[in-house]
Structure 1
Amino acid sequence: MRKYLLAATAALALATAADAQEVRISMGSYNLNNLPFMVAEGLDLYAKTGLDVTVENFASGGSKTLQALVAGSTDIAVGFYDHTIQMQSQNKDVVAIVDLARNSGLVLAGGPESSFDPAKPETIKGAKIGITAPGSSSDFFVRYYLKRHDIPEDSVSLIGVGSGSTAVAALQQGKVDLLVNYDPAATFLEEKGVGKVLIDGRGDEGAKAIYGGIYPTSVLYTRADFIEDNPETVQKVVDATVEALDWIQHHSAKEIVAALPEDFISGDKETYTRAVENARPIFSPDGRFDETDVRTPLAVLKSFNEKVAGADIDLSKTYTNAFVDKAHVAVNN
């Protein structure tokens, strides 16, 4: 039987609330790319490592979370890896410390009145496209799609609609013609007959078709100075997150949903559970970053982001496997 030993487990198990190290963690939404973090919260894994975590959900996409991190109003962000690349192009050191989703869970869905046909990319012109928020990875998805097919960006309208039920409602109410979003929204809209997934990036083949490679998305990232000043806190956060990733690999979708705090669950549990099952391919099994895969977000960003295209990006500074490697102390009984 294999199990993972968290750093100083025996000592930390005796930690009292008064001794717990405080850490602020913010997230942009409850989309399923962030599920491993939500599982770690639901199983009290952060508390068990001796942390007192304050969680803030901005519910408006990853760009707000990134702003909070850079401003110092949060310590660690649950956001997308490509934000670390953006920050390096602006001479800001933001480092991903554990990978949650090894692939994009994004899908592009169309409503009943949508005339977009993926086989004819030019039919996207004139569409009102819902994204989680400006500057988010759903925003990047659309811009990269347009770029690859030589379609002017101003030929579509991008509208921030958030994620989950609010995003589905925007499509259902006709506020947008197309929706780029994640599970659970992707599963909800098909289950409820609101729309149909037209481009699916949840699996490896879909991601390669969209981006040309595997695209690591949701991660925990923080500022380089926070890592330097708080290495023990960072290690505890990573330890708990890695344990959650391993737990997900060995439990059913139903068990995963049962472990989540109620406010993390969108819609009815039955549909949400199917969404978790549909999203399974995207979760990292171990939290490690692959040096080949991280090149895909860089290529995507360089295609339309002038600052990134003009910067000398050192990808080795945008992530670290050091804390994940320490978390993976495997023993055989």
Structure 2
Amino acid sequence: MRFFERERGPAVKTRRRILMAGVAAVLALTASACGGDGSDSGGGDGGPGTIKVGVGTRQTFEFLPAEYGVDLGVWKKRGLNVENVYVQGGGQVSQAMAAGQVQVGLTTGSSGADAILSGVPSKVVGLIGKDFKMMQVVVAKDSPITDVKGLKGKTVGVSAAGSLTDYLAKMIAVSQGWSERDVKRANTGGLNEQLAALESGSIDAFVWSAEAGFALEEQGKGRVLMDFGDVVKDSVFENIIATNDAVKKREASVRAYLEGWYETVNYMKAHRAETVAYMVKKFEVSETVAGKTYDHDIGNLSGDGSIPEANLKGLAASLVAQGVVDDEPATDEFWDGRFVPVAKAG
């Protein structure tokens, strides 16, 4: 990981200091206001009750079970009432967990682990998807770049310094054995800003999710060059986290949530047509885009929540690579495997 040690600059360190300060402030305010971490949504020893779930991104395939499961009734039949709380990004999920506003969170592997190591009292309790094929590189429709080798010396747009997209852009150079300077990274912002920069020629490509890539292809605004399935291996893309208080005091609720989540995932795997139709309705995309996204991503969704040891260690190593921590943490600092594997149910 020597390659990345030079990458730890003020932006990443400042981002983490801000997160740690924000978490400390939230925890202090919460403790002062209610004498605990706020996870008092019923349940306890009396049954599942109600659980609130922080969702970092609304329109993304890998988080689709959050809403689909509610509509399928997988949690209702277990006596669990699920309330989804939609926020912008993993950082806000972590803040909501620290404040006791949610007891479960859906977020990227690095974002969740970063928050845990920064002081949010929680643990990863289940896997959503381990492979990074859900993330893609998009180029202009008429771009002369035809494969990953064509990115050498080019400028790739990322959302922000220290973000997941920034990390993935770095990994392009790593996978090809290039110098870090061989792939220039531009902090461009959101999808609309990425498109504008691509059209103006200020960037040659950008990193984004599969749904967006396929939609841009259909609209004639871009072309998917590659995904990161073969670039980042043995890691964790996205996962489910739960507060320590929920794990300790509301184990039945956490277990019921995970059972319902993976029941939904396995339903999706067995019912392509119904899932594609649901995506068309919820994401407001065409059936073609929904079908491409389903076929591309469905195999990456975990059916039981287990995380192989190699992937846990890969996630720990990636935290060093992204400048989150200086030393690789032990996996039990962010992972609690007591709930998995979750038996298939339906």
**Alignment TM-score, normalising by the size of structure 1:** 0.76
User: Which residue is equivalent to 2:210?
Assistant: 183
Q: How far apart are the structure 2 equivalents of 1:28 and 1:171?
A: 25
SS state of the match for residue 194, structure 1?
coil
Write the mapping of 1:292-307 to structure 2, written as runs, cut at 5 A.
292-305=310-323, 307=324
Q: How far apart are the structure 2 equivalents of 1:270 and 1:120?
A: 28
Q: How far apart are the structure 1 equivalents of 2:116 and 2:241?
A: 13
1:214 maps to a residue whose letter is D
Q: How far apart are the structure 2 equivalents of 1:95 and 1:24?
A: 16
SS state of the match for residue 53, structure 1?
strand
Q: How far apart are the structure 2 equivalents of 1:284 and 1:167?
A: 32
1:138 maps to a residue whose letter is T
User: Which residue is equivalent to 1:6?
Assistant: none
Q: How far apart are the structure 2 equivalents of 1:121 and 1:155?
A: 9
2:164 maps to a residue whose letter is S
User: Which residue is equivalent to 1:150?
Assistant: 179
1:102 maps to a residue whose letter is K
Q: Does 1:40 align with 2:65?
A: no
What number of residue pairs does the alignment pair up? 295
1:74 maps to a residue whose letter is V
Counterpart contact for 2:124–2:242, Cα < 8 Å: yes
User: 1:25: Cα distance to partner?
Assistant: 1.0
| Deviation readout 1:63-84 (Å, 9 max, x if unpaired) | 3323322333322111112223
User: Which sections of structure 1, spanning at least 5 residues, go unmatched?
Assistant: 1-14, 202-206
SS state of the match for residue 198, structure 1?
strand
User: 1:107: Cα distance to partner?
Assistant: 0.7
Q: Does 1:141 align with 2:168?
A: yes
SS state of the match for residue 55, structure 1?
strand
SS state of the match for residue 148, structure 2?
coil
Which of 114, 136, 140 aligns to 1:111? It is: 140
Q: 1:140 to 1:225 in 2, by over 3 A?
A: farther
User: 1:113: Cα distance to partner?
Assistant: 6.8
Q: Does 1:316 align with 2:332?
A: yes
User: 1:238: Cα distance to partner?
Assistant: 0.6
Write the mapping of 1:1-333 to structure 2, written as runs, cut at 5 A.
21-29=49-57, 30-58=59-87, 60-104=88-132, 105-112=134-141, 118-124=148-154, 127=155, 129-131=157-159, 135-145=162-172, 149-152=178-181, 155-161=184-190, 170=196, 174=200, 177-201=204-228, 207=229, 209-211=230-232, 213-252=233-272, 254-259=273-278, 262=281, 264-305=282-323, 307-310=324-327, 312-325=328-341, 327-328=342-343
CA RMSD of aligned residues (A): 3.2
1:76 maps to a residue whose letter is V
User: 1:277: Cα distance to partner?
Assistant: 1.7
User: Which sections of structure 2, spanning at least 5 residues, go unmatched?
Assistant: 1-42
Which has the larger share of helix?
A: 2
Q: 1:55 to 1:278 in 2, by over 3 A?
A: same
Q: 1:130 to 1:90 in 2, by over 3 A?
A: closer
Q: 1:240 to 1:176 in 2, by over 3 A?
A: farther
User: 1:227: Cα distance to partner?
Assistant: 1.4
| Deviation readout 1:281-321 (Å, 9 max, x if unpaired) | 3211322111112222222231241x4233x5111332233
Counterpart contact for 1:289–1:320, Cα < 8 Å: no
Q: 1:199 to 1:274 in 2, by over 3 A?
A: closer
- Bigger Cα displacement from structure 2, 114-123 vs 287-296: 114-123
SS state of the match for residue 267, structure 1?
coil
Counterpart contact for 1:27–1:77, Cα < 8 Å: yes
Q: 1:62 to 1:102 in 2, by over 3 A?
A: same
Counterpart contact for 1:51–1:236, Cα < 8 Å: yes
Q: 1:184 to 1:217 in 2, by over 3 A?
A: same
Counterpart contact for 2:69–2:264, Cα < 8 Å: yes
SS state of the match for residue 51, structure 2?
strand
User: Which residue is equivalent to 1:12?
Assistant: none
User: 1:109: Cα distance to partner?
Assistant: 1.0
User: 1:156: Cα distance to partner?
Assistant: 2.6
SS state of the match for residue 220, structure 1?
strand
User: 1:106: Cα distance to partner?
Assistant: 0.6
Q: How far apart are the structure 1 equivalents of 2:204 and 2:89?
A: 20
User: 1:241: Cα distance to partner?
Assistant: 0.7
Counterpart contact for 2:263–2:345, Cα < 8 Å: no
Percent identical pairs in the alignment equals 17
Q: 1:20 to 1:258 in 2, by over 3 A?
A: farther
Q: How far apart are the structure 2 equivalents of 1:323 and 1:244?
A: 17
